[in-house]
Amino acid sequence: MESLSIETQIAINKSDTIVSCTNLETKQDAGTNKRLLEFSISPSISRILNPNTPVLAGQLRIFRVKPEMEVDAKAAYIRAIDHETGLTLSRVDLSNFVQDKQWLTINVTEAIRMWANKDPQARVNKLTLAVEVLDKRSRILKDIDIGLQDLPETSKEIQPFLVIYLLTKDIPSRVTSPQEQQANESLMKLYSNELKQFHDPTLTLDSRKRRSTKQHNGGSPSSSNAKAGNDKSYRNHTKLPVRNPYHQKFCNKYSFFVSFTDLKWNDWIIAPDGYEAWSCSGKCPFPLHPNLNSTNHAIVQMLAHLMNPQVPEPCCAPTKLQPISVLYYDDFSNVVLKKYRNMIVQACGCL
């Protein structure tokens, strides 16, 4: 397995979106004998690749099968150039790649940034990079095969591609169609109703168990048949609430599993199949106990409510959240890895 460079690890940690661009065509520049690689910049990527989106890193990945020693000995470096401007981007030392079959990583961040900073009206939907082979004295070697797998007949699994690391700040890279939006709204209503029924704050943990036992042993036939006929329903994913040493009916964190299959998103989300989002529910009583993670604002609001009932009571809500990473296809079948912030509840409190 290929180990990640320090630069790649830093880019992964700092970015919230990672996109890949496929190689459209590889050809030889007749004048300079450079290899020209054309990469597709689809409208979905173009939408997020703009001057307001920091490009943390851009990498050209080329697979190499090491040729015969006498041919390989002549080549020392591979250099990447922005074909439009002629700017030399970076070069890699081939002596650092000792395996017979290995992916080469070339830094092309500056080319990605220049493309992103162009006027959107003047941009084309592709980025062309030139690749040159140099000897130990940095002289260009022409008509030499160093085993780069970049020809049109190369298998898709080892075709060259671009990887772009971005900080998009939640800019959508996929547009929801009206049909998907309507289906999502219907499913969200269903999820909301299920959540309200399960999160009845007047029920304690023991009474939930008794109700569940009663439904299994002597419940109505219709509810039993519905459960048997729908193994992937939301209710089957939902677990018992997390125990709170203070009291179960007060503000607490409850299990809430979101299934991407139930939402009909599994046709474009690669991974995960779903995730445990958790949710917050329960009362915020007076006086607010320290176990309820109450803010000073909530304490003042509670006192104001006691003096004037028109002032709303503090409510149970998430106080700490964490992100999840989702791997999916965008509208043009580009593979995108995006980190979505504030998706998983870690703690609840009275706010």
Each residue's pLDDT, cut to its tens digit, for the chain (351 residues) gives: 456 678 888 888 888 889 988 888 887 776 666 788 888 888 888 888 888 888 999 999 988 887 765 555 667 788 888 888 888 888 888 877 777 788 888 999 999 999 988 887 777 888 889 888 888 888 877 766 777 777 667 777 888 899 999 988 765 555 555 555 555 555 555 545 544 444 444 443 344 334 444 444 444 433 434 333 344 433 334 444 444 444 558 888 999 999 998 888 888 899 999 999 999 988 888 877 777 777 788 888 888 888 888 888 888 999 999 999 999 988 777 888 999 889 999 999 888
What are 67-99's pLDDT values in tens digits?
765 555 667 788 888 888 888 888 888 877 777
Please name the residue that has the structure tokens 């992937």.
Answer: 232
Structural domains of the chain, ranges and CATH numbers in brackets: 6-166 (2.60.120), 245-350 (2.10.90.10)
With tokens 């409208």, the residue in question is 43
Q: Which residues, other chains included, contact 263 with Cβ-Cβ below 8 Å and sequence gap of 6+? A: 184, 187
Q: What is the DSSP string of 93-152?
A: EGGG--SSEEEEEEE-HHHHHHHHTS-TTT--SEEEEEEEEE-TT-PBPPS----B--ST
In 3D space, the residue among 116, 2, 124, 103 whose CA is nearest the CA of residue 56 turns out to be 116
- For the chain, what's the residue count? 351
Give dist(CA 207, CA 210) in Å, integer.
Answer: 5
Report CA-CA distances (Å) from 133 to 70, 81, 90: 15, 11, 12
Query: Residue 271 and residue 81: Cα distance in Å, rounded?
Result: 35
pLDDT in tens, 146-190: 777 776 677 778 888 999 999 887 655 555 555 555 555 555 555
* Angle (nearest 5°) at CA 80 between 74 and 82: 145
